Amino acid sequence: MELPAVLAHEANGDDCEAWVTESRTFDLALVRTRYRQFYGPGPGRVALHIEGVSEGHLVYEFTA
């Protein structure tokens, strides 16, 4: 399953191009729930296509 996504930052007019030095976490429970609505229970794997990610995508894997 593929899920297009956009990760954006609202800079409020600040043109600073600082290096990102923080880690962020996101609750992907809704992605898992939607996956299971379409494919049923059990483990799954979803490719998240996020604009700006150098590898092109991130993979979210979950178990039963």
Domain contains 56: yes
Per residue in 15-60, pLDDT (tens digit) is 777 777 777 788 889 899 989 999 999 999 988 877 777 777 788 9
Count how many domains the chain has.
1
Domain contains 37: yes
pTM across the whole model? 0.62
Domain contains 44: yes
Domain contains 43: yes
Alpha-carbon gap, residue 4 to 43, rounded angstroms: 20
- 3-class SS of residue 3: strand
Q: Find the domain containing 38 and state its range.
A: 2-10+20-62
Domain contains 15: no
Q: What is the reported pLDDT for 45?
A: 92
